[in-house]
Amino acid sequence: MAAKRVYQVWKGSNKFICGGRLVFGPDARSLLVTLLLIIVPVIIFCVCVARHLRHEFSSYNSGYAILAVAILFTVHVLAVLFLTSSGDPGIVPRNPHPPEEEFRYDSSVSVDAGGAGRQTPSLQFPRIKEVIVNGLAVRVKYCETCMLYRPPRCSHCSICNNCVERFDHHCPWVGQCIGLRNYRYFFMFVSSATILCIYVFSLSAFYIKVLMDNYDGTVWKAMKESPASVILMAYCFISLWFVGGLTGFHLYLIGTNQTTYENFRYRADGRINVFNRGWLNNFLEVLCTKVRPSRNNFRAFVREEAPRPHAAIIGREREANELSGDRRPKVEHDLDIGEELLKISQRRNVEEDTRRNGPAHNASEPDSIMSADHRAPTIRSDARHSSWKRSANWEIAQEVLANSNVTESRTYVTSKEMRQ
C-alpha cells in the first residue's frame, strides 16, 4: 500500500490541487465569481473605451499607454488575488492527541446497579490559560477540534475547520481564510481593486466628455453613443463602496494593529489592544516584514505513530490502583538489587569486625551483623560490645553507594513508567 501524503488525509475542509501545492478554502468556487467581476468589466473597458481613446492621445503613442496600464494593472490584481486564495493563510497543525500534562484527574462517586457507591475517575481540563504579551496577560483558549491551546490572535475558522494564526476573517470572495501569511496580499488585492475601479471610472467619464464635445455638449447623445461607458461608470461607482470602504477599514486596522475579529470582539468585551506598537511600526509589521514560512508541509508523507492509550484510560488505571490500596509500584528487580546491597553491607561489616577484634569469637556466638532473615542487627552482650560499637561502622561502602544510586534511578524510571 502506497504511503499517503498530508493533504490526502487532511482533516480540515480545505481543497487541494496540483498534488497539495495549492490549498483553497471549501468555498473556492466563489473565486470564479470574483474573477468574472474583475475580468469582464476590464475587457469591456479595453474594447469600448480605451481603444477609442487612442486617437485622443496620439502624441508619442500615449494613447496605447491607457490600454497597457489597464491590462497590466488587471494582471497585478489577479496575481495578488491568486496569492491570497491559493496559499496557507497560517494554519496551525493539529495535535494527534490532547496535551496530557494539562489533564487533572479527579474522582467522583457514582451509584451502581446494586446501590453501592463507586468512585470513577473524571478528567478536568483547563479551557483557558493566560500568557504574557508585552507585559500584559492575554487569555488563550483550548481548541477541542485541533486539541491545542491557540496561540495569541489565533482563532478557529468554522468554515475551513482550522485554527489560523492572526485570524482576520474568512472571505467568501477569495474562498480562503485571511490570516497571518496572506493578510498582506489581501490588503494589496482590495487596495489595487480600488485603484482599478477609480482608473476605469475616470477614463470612462473622460470618454463621455470627449463625446459631448463632438456632439455639441449633448450628454444624452454621448451616452447613446457609448452606453458601455455609462455601464462601467455605474459599476465602478457601486464597487467603490465595497472595495473602497474595505480598503479604508483595513487601513484603520493596520494603523491600530488589529484584526477584523479583534475589532469586533475587543470592542464588545472592552479589552485593551496589547499589540499596538504605534501606527508607523504597525504598518511596517504588516507590509514590510518577511512572510513567515508555513507550518505545514502538505506534500510530506504521513508517518504512522504507535497507538497510545488515551488519557482517560491512564486516569482509570491510576484511580483503580489507588482504590485497591496498592499505591506502590510492583518492581521485582528492585527487590533483587536490595538483596544484593544487603549482602554487600553484611560482608563489609564482617570484614571490619574481623580486622579490629580478631577471629577469636565462636562462630555459633551471635554476631553483630544484620541478619538476612530478620533484617535487624543482633548485638552481643559480652565485654566486647563497646569495641564492637566502636568498630561497627554503618557508613556504606563506595560500591554500595554506586549500587544505591542505580537502584534509585531504576526505581524512578519504573515508577514513571507505571504512571504512564
Percentages helix, strand, coil for the chain (3-state, rounded to 5) are: 50, 15, 35
Q: Are 227 and 195 in contact (CB under 8 A)?
A: no
Residue 196: its H or E element: helix 183-214
Whether the CB-CB separation of 151 and 140 falls below 8 Å is answered with yes
Look at residues 147, 41, 122, 47 and name the one whose alpha carbon lies nearest to residue 312. Answer: 122
Catalytic residue among 146, 171, 197, 236: 171
Q: How far apart are CA 26 and CA 174, in angstroms?
A: 11
Q: Is 122 exposed, middle or buried (0-12, 13-18, 19+ CB in 10 A)?
A: middle
Q: What SS3 state is found at 22?
A: strand
The DSSP call for residue 412 is H
**Integer CA distances (angstroms), 134 to 76, 138, 149, 152, 273, in order:** 37, 10, 19, 12, 10
48 is catalytic: no
DSSP-assigned letter for residue 91: B
Contact present, 407 and 338 (Cβ < 8 Å): yes
> Helix, strand, or coil here: 55?
coil
Given a contact cutoff of 8 angstroms between Cβ atoms, the answer to whether 257 and 276 are in contact is yes
Helix (H) or strand (E) holding 35: helix 30-45
Grid look-up 530478620 returns 374
Give the Å distances, CA to CA, from 309 to 4, 95, 323.
24, 15, 21
Q: Please state, in angstroms and rounded to a whole number, the distance separating the CA atoms of residues 8 and 280.
A: 42
d(CA 24, CA 38): 19
C-alpha cell at 334: 528492585
Cell numbers describing residue 41:
468589466
Whole-angstrom CA distances from 73 to 80, 191, 242, 403 are 11, 12, 19, 78
For residue 212, give the C-alpha cell: 459631448
Name the residues annotated as catalytic.
171
